[in-house]
């Protein structure tokens, strides 16, 4: 029995790694495999997950041969519109934790859209509603994804601008929306999700565990805000101290200048007075009064 338990523990430890000769590590990490159905290892597709993947949803202009004709600004504006459109559509099913779009060129990753929700039931609702629908004239292919931690799925070298494999890398190369788009979407939708969650009977009937998770999320956000406030206070104090020191230095620097200015004015007045006296004496010497 001890041998069986040790074997089970070993299998659990190597699950989804290169040592696992049964399950595909790439499918476990990124939810896609370049070998597809021909892969020699098993693709364990989850029956439920907080993450869904819509395969080939984004049409990458680079893959369509249009990349050389489109300016970077036009390409980013077009992607921003796509990202906002997808976020608003998927956000109607629940609060989104992450929305990631692949710009890889490999067949198994090209244009894939990964949406991770905070709750499994929201992901399930989105999957059920999206099946059979079309986007951009093409049918939507959606399924649950095993990816819940995108830190293991993305290409670290790509994020550092050092990936040598280019668009055919087997890890995710994520296309990011402009910062103002991302801030607007996630901030506004988080507020609306809180309001709808407080009114929805389905939300009120969730399990205690889910409610505890929500409380932890709120507490975590509150702690982050508190830490940010605490971090800002020393910076504000330092800023005030710097301003005070700068004013004091300016006053100290101004005093000698003021003294010098007054001294120069005094000397100028003295010279002017002496000049007037000399001119008076010269005038008196030239025109003596008659006796």
Render 148-213 in DSSP notation, one character per residue. --TTTTB-HHHHTT--SSGGG-SSB-EEPPPHHHHHHHHHHHHHHHHHHHHH-HHHHTS-HHHHHH
pLDDT of residue 218: 62
152-170 per-position pLDDT tens digit? 899 999 999 999 999 999 9
- Indicate the pTM of the whole model: 0.60
Beta-carbon contacts of 262 under 8 Å, excluding residues fewer than 6 positions away, are none
pLDDT of residue 5: 46
217-229 per-position pLDDT tens digit? 566 666 666 665 6
CA distance 86 to 69: 25
Burial of 129 (0-12, 13-18, 19+ CB in 10 A): middle
Query: How confident is the prediction for the chain on average, in pLDDT?
Result: 79
């Amino acid at each position: 029995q001890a041998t069986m338990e040790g074997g089970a523990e070993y299998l659990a430890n190597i699950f989804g790694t290169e040592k696992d000769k049964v399950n595909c590590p790439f499918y476990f990490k990124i939810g896609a495999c370049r070998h597809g159905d021909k892969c020699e290892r098993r693709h364990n597709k989850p029956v439920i997950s907080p993450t869904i993947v819509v395969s080939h949803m984004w049409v990458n202009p680079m893959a369509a041969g249009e990349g050389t004709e489109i300016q970077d600004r036009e390409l980013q504006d077009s992607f921003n519109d796509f990202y906002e459109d997808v976020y608003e559509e998927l956000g109607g099913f629940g609060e989104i934790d992450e929305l990631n779009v692949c710009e890889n060129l490999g067949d198994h990753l090209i244009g894939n859209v990964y949406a991770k929700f905070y709750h499994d039931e929201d992901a399930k609702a989105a999957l059920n509603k999206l099946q059979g629908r079309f986007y951009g004239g093409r049918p939507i292919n959606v399924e649950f994804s095993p990816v819940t931690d995108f830190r293991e799925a993305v290409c670290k070298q790509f994020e550092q601008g050092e990936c040598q494999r280019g668009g055919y890398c087997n890890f995710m190369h994520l296309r990011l929306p402009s910062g103002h788009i991302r801030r607007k979407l996630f901030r506004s939708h988080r507020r609306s999700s809180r309001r709808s969650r407080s009114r929805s009977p389905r939300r009120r009937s969730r399990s205690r565990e889910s409610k505890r998770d929500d409380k932890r999320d709120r507490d975590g956000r509150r702690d982050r805000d508190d830490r940010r406030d605490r971090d800002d206070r020393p910076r504000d104090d330092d800023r005030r101290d710097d301003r005070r020191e700068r004013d004091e230095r300016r006053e100290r620097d101004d005093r000698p200048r003021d003294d010098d200015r007054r001294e120069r004015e005094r000397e100028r007045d003295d010279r002017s007075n002496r000049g007037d006296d000399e001119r008076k004496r010269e005038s008196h010497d030239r025109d003596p009064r008659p006796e």
